[in-house]
Structure 1
Amino acid sequence: MSKLKVMHVEAGENFYGGARQVAFLVEGLAKRGVDNVVVCPRGSLTARRIAELPVALREIPMHGDLDLLLTPRLLGLLRAEKPDLLHLHSRRGPEILGAIAGRLHGLPIVYSRRNDHYESPRVTRFKYRLYDRVVAISAAIGQVLQDSGVPAGKIRVVRSAFTPDPVAPLSRDALRDAFGLPHDAFVIAIVAQLIRRKGHAVLLEAMPRLLQAIPNLHVLFFGKGGLQQELEQQIAGAGLGERVTLAGYREDLPALLEGLDLIIHPAFAEGLGVSLLQASANGVAIVASRAGGIPEAVRDGVNGLLVPPHDVQALGDAIVALAGDDARRHALGAAGRRLIAEEFSVDVMVDGNLAVYRELLPDARA
Structure 2
Amino acid sequence: MIKILYVITKSNWGGAQRYVYDIATSLDKEMFDAAVACGGNGLLATKLQEAGVRVIQIPFLQRDINIIKEFLSLFALFKIFRKERPDVIHLNSAKIGGLGAVAAYGLRIFCGWRPKVIFTAHGWGFNEDRPYLARVIIFLAQWISVIFCDFVICVSCAVFNQGMYFPFASKKLRLINLGIKSPDFLKHLEARHRLATLNKTNSLGKEFPSVWIGCIAELAKNKGLAYLIDAISILRTSDVQVLIIGDGEDYKKLQLQISNLQLQDKVFLLGFVPEASRYLKAFDMFVLPSITEAGAYVLHEAGFAGIPAVATKVGGIPYIIKDGENGFLVPPKNPEKLAEALKKLLGDENLRKIMGQKNYDLVSQKFSFEKMLRETIDIYNKVS
Structure 1 residue matching 2:34: 3-state secondary structure: strand
Mapping of residues 239-258 of structure 1, within 5 Å: 239-258=262-281
How many pairs does the alignment contain?
356
In 1: Cα distance, 2:214 partner to 2:40 partner: 31
Q: 1:210 aligns with which of 224, 235, 255?
A: 235
Write the letter of the residue equivalent to 1:89: N
> How far is the alpha carbon of 1:195 from its aligned partner?
1.4
In 2: Cα distance, 1:173 partner to 1:76 partner: 48
The aligned counterpart of 1:358 is 381
Q: 1:223 to 1:46 in 2, by over 3 A?
A: same
> How far is the alpha carbon of 1:116 from its aligned partner?
4.1
Answering whether residue 147 of structure 2 is matched by residue 152 of structure 1, we say no
Note the alpha carbon deviations across 1:54-90, whole angstroms, 9 max, x for none. 4322233322453322223223322332210100012
Q: 1:124 to 1:253 in 2, by over 3 A?
A: closer
The aligned counterpart of 1:104 is 106
Is 303-312 or 71-80 further displaced after alignment?
A: 71-80
In 2: Cα distance, 1:71 partner to 1:169 partner: 46
Note the alpha carbon deviations across 1:261-311, whole angstroms, 9 max, x for none. 111111121111111112112222100011111011212233211112223
| Structure with the larger RCO, 1 or 2 (CA within 8 Å, 6+ apart) | 1
> How far is the alpha carbon of 1:111 from its aligned partner?
0.7
> How far is the alpha carbon of 1:125 from its aligned partner?
4.3
The aligned counterpart of 2:110 is none
Answering whether residue 352 of structure 2 is matched by residue 333 of structure 1, we say no
Would you identify which runs of 4 or more consecutive aligned residues in structure 1 move more than 3 Å? Answer: 116-119, 167-170, 181-184
Note the alpha carbon deviations across 1:191-234, whole angstroms, 9 max, x for none. 111111211111111223312xx311111121122222211221
The aligned counterpart of 2:72 is 69
The aligned counterpart of 2:332 is 309
The aligned counterpart of 1:162 is 180
Q: 1:236 aligns with which of 229, 249, 259?
A: 259
Q: CA RMSD in A?
A: 2.1
Answering whether residue 146 of structure 2 is matched by residue 128 of structure 1, we say yes
The aligned counterpart of 1:221 is 244
Structure 1 residue matching 2:144: 3-state secondary structure: helix
Note the alpha carbon deviations across 1:172-201, whole angstroms, 9 max, x for none. 641453232554412212211111121111
In 2: Cα distance, 1:173 partner to 1:233 partner: 25
In 1: Cα distance, 2:52 partner to 2:359 partner: 30
Q: TM-score, normalised by structure 2?
A: 0.86
Q: 1:80 to 1:169 in 2, by over 3 A?
A: farther
Identity among equivalent pairs (%): 25
* Structure 1 unaligned blocks of 5 or more: 362-366
In 2: Cα distance, 1:304 partner to 1:322 partner: 9
Q: TM-score, normalised by structure 1?
A: 0.90
> How far is the alpha carbon of 1:52 from its aligned partner?
2.6
In 1: Cα distance, 2:33 partner to 2:231 partner: 49
> How far is the alpha carbon of 1:360 from its aligned partner?
1.9
Q: 1:265 aligns with which of 283, 288, 312?
A: 288
Q: 1:31 to 1:278 in 2, by over 3 A?
A: farther
The aligned counterpart of 2:38 is 40
